[in-house]
Chains A and B, each alone.
Chain A
């Protein structure tokens, strides 16, 4: 095993894996709570409160995965962190402002009444949508190799819409799990529409990605890769079909399978993420900088890795505890 002999090889690989895992967990977890935020204008006052109550105990910890992902990029691949974030300066600023507004809106809307309450609801929606759009825009520009032209920015806007729709979709699936009665029915309707938007968006991204980069095209469409990789799109299509059929019959009697749309939506996210990760490996800055070139010194990486190996299982453990404490249908939340 040559690869595991040389720390300058396996350490960057391990960190790319950890970073990928953080991004994936972030996209699924904060994805659903951002998505719930995007859906709030479709609901009336009481329903909004219920929807936001369903994510209240979780959003903070969910967002921490973004900090970990950016943190790992920062500490493990400092050269890439600089060039990616300077290239994405404006969407980064917008993302941050959106996350700030949304994060504080949770607190302020809970403590205000009347017109102020409505205003903070609006801030909450704008923050959720803004953060989703900014993340999609960043993804789109990243796929385009961080180059800024009319065409790449146009594509980035499409990606922004696609990711926002996907977040709204997984948010709706979360609501199917956490809501009852009328609101659950409406969540099913939202999820049905969201599924099409997500599949459409990701189809566009899947078609365009290999077309912009010859390297990515070759990685997918040469023999035998095309055979070995075929399970990925086939699985995605199958999950999409199952979801479609499932949503047609939801919500089921006795709340049966109400967890399934969210679980399957997560699987769709994982498959899409796996496809992107495969496309870009070993580059961290597309076609410019590989993870091996961008990595920090091995001795620093080793120090972090030791800590991460002890701490990550603990984090996963207490994340599960938190989700267990607040399991079941959402109820109104009070501060005690």
Chain B
């Protein structure tokens, strides 16, 4: 394997690991604010108990997000120097604004949010929670602006092979930004809702019947049920936007080779890029045309149109896109089914009787479904931009640093080992926290109810 492939795998691994945690924290900041405010409004200690439990999960996710995020900012320089050298004039300010407006905000107020409840007045603790939530969301905003610009760049001119900004409004409000933003924020909301529902369901199942898990379970199932149709609509709109600006990505997602009308929707296929055709197709007639153009006879772009003069393909790898897109959609539909069924059950029983254990088990099994869908969606959009790093401006190949293969391979192995250990530790820790909370006494004796204490843990 060459340095380019290894560097791509390394960056892919880094970003895959990193994105898991912001995906949780962006929405969880707002969930925590909701719990905190409901505690103020109702005086019900269980909402505060929910805050205390989930703020620990937030802190853990946040720490993992921060440390893997620092890795990302170094990676640009260590592995992709061509990126900043070519588009640094545009990426630079956007990244700088992320650090300046978002990163410091969340990092500084997290301390007060986590440890300040007894040290500051209530309004200040709420304010810290608000600011952390705003910080994580702002952070997502700047990163998605940059990512969207890489997909649909505008507002710049090239001078001697270096991009120079001409219109910052056009750069920030590039054509795919609103769609990508909406899709990602909703993805975060769903990931967080399913995580809260799953862990709450787990706590109920192991006997934590009477306390806050029932409230957080109901709350998060309602949120999930409400968000998922909006997400499907946003995803559809995002797809139409991609069709307009990156038709080759859509062609690869659909594994459609020839441009034309009446294109079927492939439910299953084995794309063969060497032969430029699909094997084992199972298709719904006119399906792709209908979904993408909202007309049975609409014209869908085909991959065969995307070739350089010398015959090299200018479209992304087909099988990877075809499958990651289908995984995202399948998981999304499963989330829709479970969330609506769960909401129906809660509505019918009015929350007064015990919930069906099989429903609860379903939510436990789906605790991390948001991660799967988000990663699959992220692969669809990022691999879909290949062979470009910045669409039509800079190829991935031109940006890579020419390290020795051995050096990149060893750093990759090190990262993968660390990420694997941390991922296992993270998931295990969530369930350990849940078990400890369920076994613990009532919240009035916080130390035994698993309230993690920095100083006296281990007693």
Please list the residues of chain A having a beta carbon within 8 angstroms of any beta carbon in chain B.
Answer: 45, 49-50, 52-53, 56-58, 60-61, 63-64, 66-68, 70-76, 78-79, 81-86, 88-90, 92-93, 96-97, 99-101, 103-104, 106-114, 117, 296-297, 299-300, 303-304, 307-308, 311-312, 315, 318-319, 321-322, 325-326, 331-336
Tell me what chain A mostly uses at the interface: helix, strand, loop, or mixed. Answer: helix
B450 closest partner in A (C-beta): A111
Between A68, A90, A93, the greatest number of chain B beta carbons within 10 A of the residue's beta carbon is seen for: A93
Taking CB atoms, residues of chain A closer than 8 Å to B96 are 71-72, 75, 304, 307-308
Given contacts A53-B454, A110-B457, A307-B96, contact A322 B111 (CB under 8 A): yes
A308 in contact with B407 (CB, 8 Å): no
- Residues B417-459 near A (CB distance < 8 A): 418, 422, 425, 429, 432-433, 446-447, 450-459
Taking CB atoms, residues of chain B closer than 8 Å to A73 are 77
Taking CB atoms, residues of chain B closer than 8 Å to A109 are 457
- Residues B81-104 near A (CB distance < 8 A): 81-82, 84-85, 88-93, 95-97, 99-101, 103-104
How far, in angstroms, from A49 to B82 measured CA to CA in the complex?
Answer: 45
Given contacts A86-B77, A110-B457, A326-B119, contact A100 B68 (CB under 8 A): yes
In the complex, what's the smallest C-beta–C-beta distance from B384 to chain A, in angstroms? 26
Between B71, B84, B165, B422, the greatest number of chain A beta carbons within 10 A of the residue's beta carbon is seen for: B84
The total of chain B residues at the interface (CB under 8 A) is 80
Taking CB atoms, residues of chain B closer than 8 Å to A81 are 76-77, 81, 84
Q: Which among A53, A96, A308, A334 is the interface contact of B70 at CB below 8 angstroms?
A: A96
B414 in contact with A49 (CB, 8 Å): no
Taking CB atoms, residues of chain B closer than 8 Å to A82 are 77, 81-82, 84-85, 401
Given contacts A57-B114, A109-B457, contact A303 B93 (CB under 8 A): yes
B411 in contact with A93 (CB, 8 Å): yes
- Residues B102-155 near A (CB distance < 8 A): 103-105, 107-112, 114-120
Given contacts A67-B99, A300-B90, contact A334 B453 (CB under 8 A): yes
How far, in angstroms, from A132 to B257 measured CA to CA in the complex?
Answer: 54
Given contacts A81-B76, A101-B418, A107-B60, contact A113 B457 (CB under 8 A): yes
B77 in contact with A85 (CB, 8 Å): yes
How far, in angstroms, from A86 to B83 measured CA to CA in the complex?
Answer: 13
How far, in angstroms, from A90 to B165 measured CA to CA in the complex?
Answer: 34
Q: List 5 extra interface pairs beyond A100-B418, A107-B63, A334-B455, CB under 8 A.
A: A74-B95, A78-B84, A89-B407, A311-B104, A334-B454
Given contacts A74-B95, A100-B71, contact A111 B110 (CB under 8 A): no
B422 in contact with A89 (CB, 8 Å): no
- Please give me the 7 A-B residue pairs with the lowest Cβ-Cβ distance, nearest first: A82-B81, A75-B92, A332-B455, A85-B77, A78-B88, A57-B111, A78-B84
Subset of 28 A-B contacts with CB under 8 Å: A53-B455, A57-B114, A60-B63, A61-B107, A61-B108, A63-B107, A64-B99, A74-B88, A78-B84, A79-B85, A85-B81, A86-B78, A103-B64, A103-B67, A104-B60, A104-B422, A111-B56, A111-B433, A113-B459, A297-B165, A300-B88, A300-B93, A318-B108, A319-B104, A326-B115, A332-B453, A334-B454, A336-B52
- B8 interface residue (CB < 8 Å to A): no
- B403 interface residue (CB < 8 Å to A): yes
- B66 interface residue (CB < 8 Å to A): yes
Given contacts A110-B454, A333-B454, contact A75 B68 (CB under 8 A): no
Taking CB atoms, residues of chain B closer than 8 Å to A99 are 67, 70
In the complex, what's the smallest C-beta–C-beta distance from A51 to chain B, in angstroms? 9
A300 in contact with B100 (CB, 8 Å): no
A322 in contact with B109 (CB, 8 Å): yes
In the complex, what's the smallest C-beta–C-beta distance from B418 to chain A, in angstroms? 6
